Chains A and B, each alone.
Chain A
Amino acid sequence: MWDRYDPAMTPEPSGGTLSLVALRLRLVTNLAVAAATIVALVAIDAALRTVEGVDVPVPPALVPTVAGAVIIAGVIDITRRRWRAWRWEILRRPDGSEILVVERGVWTRVWQAVPVERIQFVELTSGPVQRLMGLANLAVRTAGVLTPSVPLQDLEAGVADALRQRLAPHDVSPSSP
């Protein structure tokens, strides 16, 4: 969105979006939460009908069906949009220095740029489900106080590891020979 502000800054071949596996993982987790919500709705609907004196004006099963359909459709839509909006890229400046750019967000679009030389620490994590699906999270930290960590979630494990090696701070201490 904003990465074309400086024509001198050229995108490197490295860069990418999230894989289909990541979408699948997110759909599964988000739909599980949605299912739990629908079950709760059904339970509330059933409980209300057993209470004497309360007259629910709609036929049974209508509320769970309609609400369930809306929730599921909404969750799928949002998950897909978010998945599609997310991308990362490494830009190179004329002087050879690089900038990591992460773009994300549906309602609020966010474009975050971190000069690679500012990166202090890189962390790679992978949960059990992520490992099964071959995914990993990468967190890139700077010394900033507002957004000390830039998360890159559900990257393919190979990509995440390559990125970790590329972004990890190298020793530039002036006292080293």
Chain B
Amino acid sequence: MTEAAPYESAPTWERLHPATIVELIVRQTAQLIVAIVLLVGGGGGGFDAIIGLVVFGPAVATYLTSRYRVDPDRVYYQRGVFRRQATELPRGQIQSVETTINIFGRVFGLETLTISTAGGGDSEIRLGLLSTDAAARLRHQLTPVNSTVPPPSAPVESAATTPDIGSPSAADASQAAIAAAVTPVPETVIASLSSGDWFQVLRSRPGIGGLVLANQSFELQATRFGDRIRTRRGLFQVRTQEAPVDRVQGVLAHQTVVSRSQGVEQLVVDTADASGAGASTSILVHPIAPVGRWMSLAHELLGAEIGDLRGVAPAALRRLRTRAIIDSLPLVLVAPIVAVATDAPQAAIAALATLPLLSLAARLAVARLRFLRHRYGVNTGEGAQRHLTVQTGALWTSSLVLSTDTIQSVTVSSTWFQRRLDLATVTADPTTRTLSSAIVSDITRADAGRLAGRLL
């Protein structure tokens, strides 16, 4: 199987790109400056040689001792002269493979590859610098493929005893990777932004948030090829993120008042290990997608068929209105007292009296909007998979779709006031923070029970 595939050669120890030495030297800037000062300052002959050794020695030694190897079941990385460090990762546990191009990479046309597993923290390997070819080859070889992977808690020993990657599915995975590398995979472009779109992104979300978003989406390109999703973006630091589609936990769309007026929304997908290891990544897929694009994206990535969404119980409006009134009560009560107590002119008193009323009117309008925009639904998609869709918010709204497989627990709660109106709130607890707004509030208690039953 290894000979047949161009990307799966016999495992050998390989070195990083020689330019790594330059990067390492420049990283040790302090040492470099000291060395230059000493060199310029004089001395000669043997002294220069010592300086040269001090400056270039460690970098060259680090480069010469850094080696990586990709076995059918593991990735090894060794480095260090006196203190040898060796890292090995079982390939079945690889969560994501990311390449970044930093400033050195720009200069030499090289990339840095980060292989991370569900464990987070120390359980990652950073290989840099690598030639673009080597990086692409490794990315192809190592990116987890759509399949059920062993949970991150799977004992390492078991992987070592089995001849292949440690689980049959992982073996399929590597074969699928080979197949993916050999046969052309259907590729769909989800988003492709040129640098000219930078301004439109900024316009869709004015302020600091817009700047951050615009910076994140510089020259963004999001593609789905086969069963993987990949985004590539960045101005100085070019970032490529790649994840298998079956690790996508949910799809989120954010809209603001401004972006809605321009007919665009921001799309984010959340990926995590299906076993719920807690390691999750949010991938910005499209900063200015046309409104409603989230539905088709949820269909493409999660297989969700989003049908009609239901509104919440009519009594919810009553609760939201009561809440708005209670919230603006202090202002309504205090303003007239202040107006009377102070010796203010007539016009000021009139203004002070209308202010709380305006605030109340605004709060009531927002409450109504919140009521109208809060919608939910559980839909059966391809196979027997179910998906929960929740839309929330009044001025800033978000729509999220998540697979019910990722829901860890369901809580139905009802306060005293909600019980009087026969209302309840259903909270689904997902494994990723960005999807934790999967809360359906103020539906009838009977509906809440039914919804909880469908989510469990």
Judge whether A108 and B416 touch: CB under 8 Å. yes
Given contacts A120-B276, A144-B430, A174 and B148 within 8 Å (CB-CB): yes
Known contacts A5-B450, A99-B456, A173-B155; A118 and B166 CB within 8 A of each other: no
Interface size on B, residues (CB 8 A): 45
Residues of B within 8 A of A146 (CB): 427, 429-430, 436
Is B429 touching A5 in the complex (CB atoms < 8 A)?
Answer: no
Contact in complex: A173, B453 (CB < 8 Å) = no
**Which of A37-45, A109-117, A130-138 makes up part of the contact surface?**
A109-117
Please tell me if B433 contacts chain A, counting CB pairs below 8 Å.
Answer: yes
The answer on a CB contact under 8 Å between B415 and A111 is: no
Q: Which of B185-193, B288-296, B331-339, B403-411 lies at the interface?
A: B403-411
CB pair B419 A109 closer than 8 Å: yes
How far does the Cβ of B193 sit from chain A's closest Cβ, in whole Å?
31
- Within 17-37 of A, Cβ neighbours of B (below 8 Å) are at none
- B159 touching A175 by the CB < 8 A rule? yes
Do the beta carbons of A2 and B452 come within 8 Å of each other? Answer: yes
Name the contact of B432 in the complex, choosing from A109, A115, A145, A176 (C-beta under 8 A): A145
CB of B431 within 8 A of CB of A144, answer: yes
Does A143 count as interface, using CB distance less than 8 angstroms? yes
Q: A120-B276, A173-B150, A173-B154 are in contact. Are A110 and B430 (CB under 8 A)?
A: no
Assess A174 versus B167: contact at CB under 8 Å? Given A5-B452, A142-B429, A147-B429.
yes
On whether the beta carbons of B416 and A5 are closer than 8 Å, the reply is no
With a CB–CB cut-off of 8 A, which chain A residues contact B445?
1-2
Tell whether B278 is near chain A: CB-to-CB under 8 Å. yes
Q: Write out the residue numbers on chain B whose beta carbons fall within 8 Å of the beta carbon of A111.
A: 411-413, 452
Contacts of A110 in B (CB 8 A): 411-413
Known: A2-B452, A146-B427. A107 touches B433 (CB 8 A): no
Q: Is the CB of B431 within 8 A of A175?
A: no
A122 interface residue (CB < 8 Å to B): no
Residues from chain B with Cβ under 8 Å of A9 in the complex:
453
In the complex, which of the residues B158, B412, B427 contacts A175, with contact meaning CB atoms closer than 8 Å? Answer: B158
Are A109's CB and B414's CB within 8 A?
Answer: yes
Determine the residue in chain A with the shortest Cβ distance to B413.
A110
- What 0/1 readout, one digit per residue, does chain B (154-198) give for beta carbons within 8 Å of chain A? 110011001000111100000000000000000000000000000
Q: A2-B452, A5-B452, A115-B456 are known contacts. Are A143 and B416 too (CB-CB below 8 A)?
A: no
Interface residues on A, range: 20 to 34
Q: Mark B443-454, 1 if CB is under 8 A from A, else 0.
A: 001101110110
Interface code B260-294, partner A: CB below 8 Å = 1, 0 otherwise? 00000000000000011110000000000000000
Closest to B92 in A: A175
Closest residue of chain B to A108 (Cβ to Cβ) is: B415
Residue on B nearest A141 in the bound complex, by CB = B408
Q: Is the CB of A113 within 8 A of B456?
A: yes
* Residue pair A143, B412 in contact (C-beta under 8 Å): no
Identify B150's interface contact among A6, A105, A144, A174, CB under 8 A.
A174
Check if A144 sits within 8 Å of B408, measured CB to CB: yes
Please tell me if the beta carbons of B409 and A142 are within 8 angstroms of each other in the complex: yes
Contact B431 A143 (CB under 8 A): yes
Q: Tell me the smallest distance from the CB of B254 to a CB of chain A, in Å.
A: 19
Task: Check if A150 is an interface residue, CB within 8 A of chain B.
Answer: yes
Q: A109-B419, A175-B159, A175-B162 are in contact. Are A114 and B408 (CB under 8 A)?
A: yes
Q: Does B153 contact A (CB under 8 A)?
A: yes
Measured CA separation A114–B427 after assembly (Å):
12
**Do A174 and B169 touch (CB < 8 A)?**
yes
Residues on the B chain within 8 Å of A147, using CB: 409, 411, 427, 429
* Complex contact B448–A113 (CB within 8 A): no
Q: Tell me, rounded to whole Å, the shortest Cβ–Cβ distance linking B163 to chain A.
A: 12
B307 part of interface (Cβ distance < 8 Å): no
Q: List 5 A-B contacts (CB under 8 A).
A: A2-B424, A111-B412, A112-B411, A113-B410, A114-B409
Would you list the 5 A-B pairs with minimal beta carbon distance, nearest first? A5-B449, A143-B276, A144-B408, A144-B429, A142-B408
Excluding A109-B413, A109-B419, A144-B431, 17 further A-B contacts by CB distance (< 8 Å) are A2-B412, A2-B449, A4-B449, A9-B453, A112-B412, A113-B409, A113-B410, A114-B408, A114-B409, A118-B408, A118-B409, A145-B431, A146-B429, A147-B411, A147-B429, A173-B150, A173-B151
Query: B: which residues have CB within 8 A of A?
Result: 92, 148, 150-151, 153-155, 158-159, 162, 166-169, 275-278, 407-416, 419, 424, 427, 429-433, 436, 445-446, 448-450, 452-453, 456
